[in-house]
Amino acid sequence: MKIGAACRRKLAPLAIHQLLLDNNSYPMLSTSEFQSLCRKHDLAATHQRRVIYDTVMSMHGHPSPELIYDKVKKKIPSISLATVYKNVRTFLESGMLREVSMHHGSLRVEPNEHAHHHLVCVRCKQITDLDPEHLAPVRIKQRPRGFTVTRIAVDVMGVCAACAGKPDAKQF
């Protein structure tokens, strides 16, 4: 079987369940705390948003919108996948949540065989190679148990010169 999107989709729920780390104990927000959090980000505090946010924050791993939808649906059976997508994006844009990787949109090939790292612009998604010289060498102090390390990739994220000039774009 090929490891494609279809396969990944089936693996993800199982795999995430296997090795979870309990380093993300989220203190559930009260209604008024959630309301002021939303006000701070200029968002209406709807029931759906509350449940989506709570669900994500209480999940281990790094859930996809589909996985979030599956969990939220148990609390709000009438919710639609589009609402989950819309709100996840809204949360990302407002800074209430973060994305694991800035470049998930489409496959990107790396022709550069030399050891190097990346400069990633969070606005235009531009990926630029970063000379290893610019970075102090990354060292693993304690080897993760059972994990065979083959490579270390560093993404230095921020805003590139071109985007810094355009103040209209949202920062996320």
Partner DNA sequence: CTATGTGCAAAATCTTTGCTTGAAA
Partner DNA sequence: TTTCAAGCAAAGATTTTGCACATAG
| 31 vs 36: CA distance, rounded Å | 9
Nearer to a second copy, 33 or 129 (CB): 129
Q: Select the binding partner of residue 170 from a second copy, DNA, none (C-beta < 5 to 8 A, by kind).
A: a second copy
Contact yes or no for 70/80 (Cβ under 8 A): no
How many residues bind DNA (CB under 7 A)? The answer is 35
Q: Select the binding partner of residue 97 from DNA, a second copy, none (C-beta < 5 to 8 A, by kind).
A: a second copy
Q: Counting contacts by CB under 7 A, is residue 60 touching DNA?
A: no
Q: Select the binding partner of residue 134 from DNA, a second copy, none (C-beta < 5 to 8 A, by kind).
A: a second copy
Nearer to DNA, 107 or 140 (CB): 107
Within residues 31-50, the interface with DNA by CB under 7 A covers: 35, 38-39, 43-49
SS3 state of residue 87: helix
Kindly state the greatest CA–CA separation across the chain.
Answer: 54
Nearer to DNA, 57 or 130 (CB): 57
Check the CA dihedral 111-5-14-50 and report its sign: positive
Q: Select the binding partner of residue 30 from a second copy, DNA, none (C-beta < 5 to 8 A, by kind).
A: none
Bridge partner residues of 118 (DSSP) = 129, 155
Distances from the Cα of 162 to the Cα of 104, 132, 153, 167, 169, angstroms: 22, 23, 24, 10, 12
CB of residue 31 to a second copy, shortest distance in Å = 20
Contact yes or no for 85/65 (Cβ under 8 A): yes
**Site for DNA, rule CB under 7 A:** 2, 4-6, 8-9, 35, 38-39, 43-49, 64-66, 76, 78-83, 85-87, 89-90, 104-107
